[in-house]
């Protein structure tokens, strides 16, 4: 199985359950690992056979910046759905974190895996 990844994609959005969180944008960070067979792209050196991580990042940035979630769990499920359905990714591992959300901690968040590995 080949993996295409995006690490520490930082996006500003409204996220959280507390009143103050609903009034200010916070930074969330995404780490995304996506299964994709890279052989054809490697053989042809042609972007049409690659998993275009720039297109994925742009789609997720636009989606998250326009969203207002209460929970990172819901955000993670929506992100996974977009990546799997719109970019034909059969398996992914996603880490969503909120840097600085918990005093004394670098960040907090969740990690999910969706789909079946080859």
**pLDDT tens column, 38-72:** 999 999 999 999 999 999 999 999 999 999 999 99
Report d(CA 50, CA 41) in Å as an integer: 5
Tokens read off for 68 = 């207002």
Q: Is residue 62 part of a domain?
A: yes
Torsion over CA of 101, 102, 105 and 109, rounded to 10 degrees? -60
Determine if the pTM surpasses 0.95: no
Q: Is residue 65 part of a domain?
A: yes
Q: Is residue 115 part of a domain?
A: no
Q: Annotated catalytic sites, by residue?
A: 98
Q: Is residue 60 part of a domain?
A: yes
Q: Residue 105 — very low, low, confident or very high, per pLDDT cuts 50/70/90? A: confident
Count of structural domains within the chain: 1
Q: Is residue 109 part of a domain?
A: no
Q: Is residue 108 part of a domain?
A: no
Q: Where are the alpha helices (DSSP H) in the chain?
A: 39-44, 53-65, 72-86
């Amino acid at each position: 199985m080949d993996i295409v990844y995006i690490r520490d994609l930082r996006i500003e959005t409204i996220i959280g359950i507390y009143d103050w969180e609903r009034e200010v944008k916070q930074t969330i960070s995404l780490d995304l690992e996506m299964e994709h067979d890279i052989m054809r792209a490697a053989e042809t050196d042609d972007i049409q056979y690659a998993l275009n991580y720039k297109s994925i990042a742009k789609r997720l940035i636009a989606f998250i910046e326009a969203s207002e979630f209460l929970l990172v769990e819901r955000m993670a499920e929506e992100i996974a759905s977009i990546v799997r359905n719109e970019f034909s990714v059969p398996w992914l591992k996603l880490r969503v974190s909120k840097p600085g959300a918990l005093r004394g901690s670098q960040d907090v968040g969740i990690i999910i895996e969706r789909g079946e590995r080859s």
